[in-house]
């Protein structure tokens, strides 16, 4: 059981049954992002979220998450967005450009938007690190719990 599963079971999380979640996941490195998505959804449901309160959309790659999240925030009736992606370092500087651009775009959405956007983009050196984060380290569940906590935080200002 991961640390996040333990948190769920101790009742330390707010009631998420009335929260609405958007998830934008990349198709690129789908073996990893599919696992992140699966664990995020499982965790949300374990925290009381009805499946009908979870909207999932796909975009080609991590850089496209910015547009995907922006559009979802504009048109979705949701409280928070989880952006899921995985960028694996290669032999060219492309990794650096994608990671920097994606991070800056998601930061901008958080600064200018009305709902939180969770940066669930894994940036790793190799596939083994990606598999560990999506598996044993259970980052998908971690991103879902972060989303629940950020909705609670955002609603504290209502």
Domain containing 40 — which CATH number?
A: 3.40.50.960
Whether 35 is covered by a domain: the verdict is yes
Residues 6+ apart with CB under 8 A from 1: 9
User: What's the count of helices (H) and strands (E) in the chain, helices before strands?
Assistant: 6, 4
The strand pairing partners of 55, in sequence order, are: 22
Q: Exposed, middle or buried: residue 134 (CB in 10 Å: 0-12, 13-18, 19+)?
A: buried
Query: Is residue 70 domain-resident?
Result: yes
Residue 1 lies in a domain: no
Q: Give CA torsion, residues 49, 23, 58, 60, to 10 deg.
A: -150
Q: Which residues of 38-63 are buried (b: 16+ CB within 10 A; e: fewer)?
A: ebbbebbeebebeeebbeeeebeebb
Instruction: Answer yes or no: is 145 within a domain.
Output: yes
Could you tell me if residue 12 is inside a domain? no
Distance CA 61, CA 30 (A): 10
Q: Is the residue at 4 inside a domain? A: no
| Number of structural domains found in the chain | 1
127 falls within a domain: yes
Residue numbers of the domain that contains 122: 18-155
Q: Known catalytic residues?
A: 94
pTM (two decimals): 0.92
Per-residue model confidence as pLDDT tens for the chain (158 residues): 454 454 544 457 888 999 999 999 999 999 999 999 999 999 999 999 999 999 999 999 999 999 999 999 999 799 999 999 999 998 889 999 999 999 999 999 999 999 999 999 999 999 999 999 999 999 999 999 999 999 999 999 88
In a domain, 120, yes or no: yes
What pLDDT score was predicted for residue 11? 55
């Amino acid at each position: 059981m991961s640390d996040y599963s333990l948190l769920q079971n101790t009742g330390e999380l707010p009631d998420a049954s009335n929260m609405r979640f958007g998830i934008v996941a990349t198709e690129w490195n789908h073996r990893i992002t599919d696992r992140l998505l699966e664990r995020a959804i499982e965790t949300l449901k374990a925290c009381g979220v009805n499946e009908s309160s979870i909207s999932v959309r796909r975009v080609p790659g991590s850089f496209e998450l910015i547009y995907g999240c922006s559009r979802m925030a504009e048109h979705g009736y949701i409280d928070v967005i989880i952006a899921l992606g995985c960028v694996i370092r290669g032999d060219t500087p492309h990794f650096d450009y994608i990671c920097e651009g994606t991070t800056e775009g998601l930061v901008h959405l958080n600064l200018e938007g009305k709902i939180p956007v969770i940066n669930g983009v894994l940036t790793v050196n190799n596939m083994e690190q990606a598999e560990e984060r999506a598996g044993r380290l259970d980052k998908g569940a971690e991103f879902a719990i972060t989303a629940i906590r950020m909705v609670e935080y955002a609603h504290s200002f209502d």
